[in-house]
Amino acid sequence: MIVVCIGCWAHAQQPKFVMNGRAQGTTYSIQYFHPTEVVVQTAIDSALEVIDLSMSTYKQNSKITLFNSPETQSIAMDGHMQNVVRKAFAVHKKSKGLFDVTVKPLVDLWGFGPEQIKVFPQQVAIDSALQNVGMDKLRILGKKLVKKRHAISIDLNGIAQGYTVDVLSDLLEQHGIENYLVELGGEIRAKGSKDDGQPFQIGIERPDDTQASFVLRLKDNAVTTSGNYRKTYTMDGKKIHHHIDPKTGYPVQNNIASVTVIAKTAMDADAYDNVFMAMSVADGLKLANALKDTEIYVIYQEGEAFKEAFSKGFYNYVKN
């Protein structure tokens, strides 16, 4: 399933401003209506650089890289890291531990970090990595993030891209922009409407070619998608994807193909799409129906067939 923006812009009575670029290992696209160009590309790139210096594991001088050093016991978090880490703790609790930012040692062990692997990790290596996994081994003390073990390392990629979309959206709103669509790496947030007064429209592909794709109407919401077709590899005839179970130390193996999440913020949607990918269909729907302002669309496999399931309020966003 692919989330794409379709038909987002009618003939504009107000000028339309468009910015595209690369960030966080992917691309971004920002479009907004406003009488004048009040947010320019350099402002967007500056905001992205600040976030990278906070939470990019690929930058040697970032705060998260410093925190992940075995020599570091604690770090004073900046505002961005505080927002993301506090949300991570909240989602960890709601998901009963399925969402866990300390899985980095396991992510690296299974070849989804900076180095690929040629053989599956041995159980002894998995057990060793598990000793340094678990958000109970982290503490927040005011603005400080503290490790209970020196070998603890964190990876915020499962939530930071969605947060970045929210930051860029907030930047637009601070300049009085009320109608916009922000997209980064497939994570989307929209507010207001097109110039014809209609909500922005996001196309969703369904798993069966015999079924017509449908269109979501977003007025002031975010939508993200996670799937087992992303960040995968095949070894010894087995398809391995990057969602790691922090309790077992192994990649999640279930029949979920992809999950699309609608939420009020892109950070919430981004975090929870990882959670729903790791749950059974029934448990995922139960959680989604219990969460406020959260709807999901699940594609799952039964035998050779792909099927789909929806949370109770999902169809409220589907264009008739």
CA dihedral 145, 43, 5, 36 (to 10 degrees): 140
pLDDT value at position 121? Answer: 87
**C-alpha span between 257 and 237 (Å, rounded):** 18
User: Nearest 5°: CA angle at 269, between 268 and 272?
Assistant: 80
Number of CB atoms found within 10 A of residue 222's CB: 25
Dihedral-angle region of residue 142 (phi above 0 means left; psi in -120 to 50 means alpha; beta otherwise)? left
Residue segments in the chain with a per-residue pLDDT below the cut of 50? 1-12
**Residue 302 is part of a domain; what is its CATH number?**
3.10.520.10
| pTM assigned to the model | 0.91
List of residues 6+ apart from 98 with CB closer than 8 A: 245, 246, 274, 275, 278, 279
3-state helix/strand/coil string of 146-168: EECCCCCCCCCHHHHHHHHHHHH
Residues spanned by the domain of 194: 3-317
**Residues placed in the known binding site:** 158, 270
**C-alpha span between 94 and 108 (Å, rounded):** 25
**Residues placed in the known binding site for Mg(2+):** 158, 270
* Tally of domains in the chain: 1
Own/partner contacts of 120-126, CB < 8 Å, gap of 24 or more, are 120/235, 120/236, 126/249, 126/250
Phi/psi of residue 2, nearest 5 degrees: -125, 135
pLDDT value at position 241? Answer: 67
Number of helices and strands in the chain (H, E): 8, 16
Contact status, residue 306 vs residue 273, Cβ threshold 8 Å: no
Q: How far apart are the first and last CA of the chain?
A: 20
Query: Hey, CA dihedral for 38, 23, 152, 250, is it positive or negative?
Result: positive
The Cα-based distances of 96 to 36, 135, 146, 295 in angstroms read: 47, 11, 21, 19
pLDDT value at position 120? Answer: 86
pLDDT value at position 152? Answer: 96
pLDDT value at position 263? Answer: 98
Phi/psi of residue 262, nearest 5 degrees: -105, 130
316 CB-contact burial (10 Å; exposed 0-12 / middle 13-18 / buried 19+): exposed
Structure tokens at 157: 């990629």
Structure tokens at 2: 């692919």
The Cα-based distances of 105 to 54, 91, 155, 169, 275 in angstroms read: 20, 20, 9, 32, 19
What would you report as the CA-atom Rg of the chain, rounded to the nearest whole angstrom? 20
